[in-house]
Amino acid sequence: MSSTNDPMTNPDENEALRSTHVEIDGVRLKLAKPYVAPGRWIGQAEIFQQLLACWISLDEADLPLTPRLIGAPGVGKTQLAIAAAKAQRRPLFIYQCTADTRPEDLLVTPVLSQNGNIAYHASPLVTAMICGGVCVLDEGNRMNEKSWASLAPLLDNRRYVESIVAGITIDAHSEFRAAVTMNQDESTFEIPDYIMSRLQPTLPVGFPNKQDEMAILQYHLPFAEPEMLAMTVEFLQRSHQLKLEFSPRDGINLLRYALKRISQNPDHPVSRDIAWQEALQSCLGDEALDLEQLSQRKSRTLGGDAVPLGLADLFFDPDDPMHPDRDDDDDDEDFHV
């Protein structure tokens, strides 16, 4: 499908990966290390194929896309990108975006070396650009506009970044690929339109179905008993039905804690049900003990069936005769009787 060479069989790229430093325009850069970990994606095959399609290059004139993977925290957006990079045998680099990320953090950072000289360290993003790897900008919508602006030329057909700190321009390798994960919550920045137009397409990552969720938990916790796995999956599936955002990551964490509590004292083992309930409460809070009540409370918080208030409601009681929206029909009937 792709007209480009396999990045792991290109001698120049292998040399770049083996190197710890490169020199660009007379400036020596220390490269970041790639992220190495198992990268299996379970279920939701369509979203996996969609991400791989974004990275296809059909022609020398065709550029890869930089998609944004959106979804609730813990659904596996980063794992999806890791698995896609592994499937394409590309070196993977992950940059964790935060609210205080600066442009130099994203690109090249000056570091004072032991001999008093300035050393320049390439970020995971720049290292991926140089090596022809994949960079995942994790939780990209936690990053401010100034940092995003430094990436604008990289995300369009120019495919380069400018490091003001090092005074160099760095071109992206033809095999460089990227993706941005974004959580759907309130503790994020609004990304400017000129950046959003460069992060296309949008790939929503949803919650897995029952069979996939069981497979995910079994993959991460192969030592867990079937009964404990079943309890956790039933809880997660019920939360998905109620539109609550308890994720597979939450299930893995609470099950890990429950299993640790059970194994803590072999002479007096804790009941599985008690350990699971304790883990649920400790990991996800008291509100997770009653999903239906939590769902109703969330619905009321988001508006629910509440009647919206008008401007007049801020100044008048509902029964005040001066209320502009007060219905006077009943009063008129009483007056004419």
Query: How confident is the model at residue 227, as a pLDDT?
Result: 93
The DSSP-derived string for 254-296 is HHHHHHHHHHS-TTSPPPHHHHHHHHHHHHH-GGGG-HHHHHH
Query: How confident is the model at residue 326, as a pLDDT?
Result: 58
Query: How confident is the model at residue 248, as a pLDDT?
Result: 96
The answer to whether 275 touches 258, Cβ cutoff 8 Å, is yes
Which of 120, 131, 224, 233 is CA-nearest to residue 177?
131
Residues in the chain: 337
* Phi and psi torsions of 21, nearest 5°: -140, 150
Amino acid at residue number 323: H
Query: How confident is the model at residue 187, as a pLDDT?
Result: 65
Query: How confident is the model at residue 302, as a pLDDT?
Result: 65
Query: How confident is the model at residue 115, as a pLDDT?
Result: 79
Query: How confident is the model at residue 270, as a pLDDT?
Result: 72
User: Residue 81 has what DSSP assignment?
Assistant: H
Q: What is the pLDDT along the chain (337 residues), one digit of tens a residue?
A: 333 334 444 444 455 556 789 999 999 999 999 999 877 899 999 999 999 999 999 998 899 999 999 999 999 999 999 999 999 999 999 999 999 999 999 999 999 877 788 999 999 999 999 999 999 999 999 999 999 999 999 999 999 999 999 999 999 999 999 999 998 776 677 899 999 999 999 999 999 999 999 999 999 999 999 999 999 999 999 999 999 989 999 999 999 999 999 998 777 667 889 999 999 999 999 999 999 999 998 888 766 544 444 445 444 555 666 655 555 554 444 434 3
Query: How confident is the model at residue 334, as a pLDDT?
Result: 46
Query: How confident is the model at residue 307, as a pLDDT?
Result: 43
Query: How confident is the model at residue 78, as a pLDDT?
Result: 95
Residue ranges covered by each domain of the chain: 16-204, 210-302
d(CA 258, CA 280): 8
Query: How confident is the model at residue 143, as a pLDDT?
Result: 92
Query: How confident is the model at residue 319, as a pLDDT?
Result: 61
Can you identify the CATH homologous superfamily of domain 16-204? P-loop containing nucleotide triphosphate hydrolases (3.40.50.300)
Burial of 291 (0-12, 13-18, 19+ CB in 10 A): middle
